[in-house]
Amino acid sequence: MAIPVTALYAGILAFILTWLSFKAGMMRGKTGISVGDGGNVSMLEAMRRHANAVEYVPLALILLAALELNGAGSTFLHVLGIVLVISRIAHAIGLKADHIGHPLRAVGAGGTTLVIVVAAGTAVWKSISGMF
């Protein structure tokens, strides 16, 4: 069975992850730091922007795919996907070592958490209620 909605957001998010990886790699080249952050705040920020996305995006996409494979509506899936993409971009922009309260960081973290909780709750609910 095809999962075109999940494929769309997996592709978009792969571009975002690749960009974040590229930025971290460029920072490594610029600073000469091969492993770790070398005490450089900019390197740490670049690493955490990429790592945070790597920590959350796969789980969200697995949940999106599970929902799509089990017949969730495309509008619902697109809403989750759009919120996830916007959230990951916002989080990457708002993640600052010296400003934990940056509003875009909060939007990004909150939006990502919302997508995961809603998708997980829907998956569990539909599974135990036999609605799939």
Q: Which CATH class is domain 4-125?
A: mainly alpha
- Provide the whole-model pTM: 0.92
DSSP per-residue letters across the chain: ---HHHHHHHHHHHHHHHHHHHHHHHHHHHHT--SS-TT-HHHHHHHHHHHHHHHHHHHHHHHHHHHHHTT--HHHHHHHHHHHHHHHHHHHHH--TT-TT-HHHHHHHHHHHHHHHHHHHHHHHHHHHT--
What is the tens place of the pLDDT at every residue in 108-132?
999 999 999 999 999 999 999 876 6
What is the tens place of the pLDDT at every residue in 42-61?
999 999 999 999 999 999 99
